[in-house]
Amino acid sequence: MGLAIFDEKYPISGSMHFIAGSGVAETWMWDETPVPSRVDAMFATNTDVIDHVVDVWFSSTSFVLLLGSVNVPAGAGVAGAPTIDLVAHLPLSTQGGLVFGRLDSLKMAMEVAVTAAFSIDIVVLGGRL
């Protein structure tokens, strides 16, 4: 059956631009919605000269859970290099997406700050159910 029972009715997308000044604090990527939602993909690019590890957090009203940490290689998504789909690299995403309740949210954090003049860009694609 998989995620077919969660067909999206309204597409949603979001993006985050991590720069040197962003530091390593958690940042909201997918906030609470009035109805349940699903994240299908999170594409990351890295213009920095070093690899970066992105921590992906699930947050609900009663707990916060680290879903996983994903390495984004230097140059990912630059000059023809492929982007990294964070969802595909999470150990809990065996069905190809992440389903969220109304009060759940998604946060991201860098394990090491981005080097000055470079960035990590993440685009989240999904929809309301």
Please count the other Cβ atoms lying within 10 Å of the Cβ belonging to residue 30: 22
Tens-digit pLDDT string for the chain (129 aa):
345 555 778 888 888 999 988 888 778 777 767 788 888 899 999 999 999 999 999 988 888 999 999 999 999 999 999 999 999 999 875 566 888 888 888 899 999 999 999 999 999 988 887
The Cα 129–Cα 33 span in angstroms is: 10
The Cα 13–Cα 94 span in angstroms is: 21
CATH superfamily of 12-128: Nucleoplasmin core domain (2.60.120.340)
Domain chopping of the chain, boundaries: 12-128
Alpha carbon of residue 15 to chain centroid: 9
Residue (of 95, 99, 85, 88) closest to 6 by Cα position: 99
- Tokens 């067909």 appear where? 7
The model's pTM: 0.86
